[in-house]
Amino acid sequence: MEQIQAYKEMGLSNRQIARKRNRVPQTINNEVKHGWVKTIKQIQKKANGKEYRYYNEQYYAEVGQIRYASNKSQCGRKPIYWSFPEIVAELDSLFLGKVDGIKYSPYATIPKLEEVIPTEFIPCERTIYTWIDKGIMQTKNVDLMSKTTRKNNHKSSKASVKRVLGRSINERPAYIDSRSEIGHFEIDTVVGKKASMDNVLMVLTDRLSISLYYDFSYQR
């Protein structure tokens, strides 16, 4: 901006400055408009009583910056309490028990506000907490009966994919190892190259007779 001011003091036009700054001419026009100051240079009074004023117009970078910052601060959505200042006083009365002797929570104030304030000016619960935290209201956090916290206590649990394979072989009775009776088997499977749903070979061997039994319908 100081460079624009220097160019203007040299007598350059806005379009010439735009070329030197590699900017669109409208950008320079807007900036010069922000910092353009008109001051009275001279006042002349004639014999006939008429007064003539002569002005001095000049661009000042500092003025342009101040006006730009001021305009920028006016951008965005305005807080509800700017359009309806009574909302803050009404909330304070409900929080501090000035209405009916009951201290309301932020959540409980909303139905009460709907009775006396237009719907478009009623803030949500989260906005009310924000106003309290920022000190916009007379009410402080210590004045609230209890300040709620929104924590998600839900613990996600993954579905168990553990297979139930039955009792361990280590739990079998000791007398089975004596091989004194038929009916106790050792089981093995033969798995070759197969798809997920193809059958495999299951072999059962009787521990006493060493008899083999085969089953091709077993799926693993």
DSSP 141: G
DSSP 157-180: -PPP------S-GGGS-GGGGG--
pTM: 0.38
Query: Which pLDDT band, with edges at 50, 70 and 90, does 203 fall under?
Result: confident
Residue type, 46: K
* C-alpha to C-alpha distance for 20 and 6, rounded to whole angstroms: 12
**What pLDDT score was predicted for residue 16?**
92
User: 48-97, pLDDT tens digit by residue?
Assistant: 888 888 888 888 888 888 888 887 777 777 788 887 888 898 899 999 88
Query: Parallel, antiparallel, or unpaired: how do β-strands 199-206 and 212-219 relate?
Result: antiparallel
Radius of gyration of the chain (CA): 43
Q: Which pLDDT does position 167 carry in this prediction?
A: 72
Sign of CA dihedral 140, 142, 144, 146: positive
Tell me which residue has tokens 């006016």: 74
For 91-130, what is each residue's pLDDT tens digit?
999 998 888 888 888 888 888 888 888 888 888 999 999 9
pLDDT band at 164 (very low <50, low <70, confident <90, very high): low
pLDDT band for position 157 (cuts 50, 70, 90): low
Distance CA 76, CA 137 (A): 22
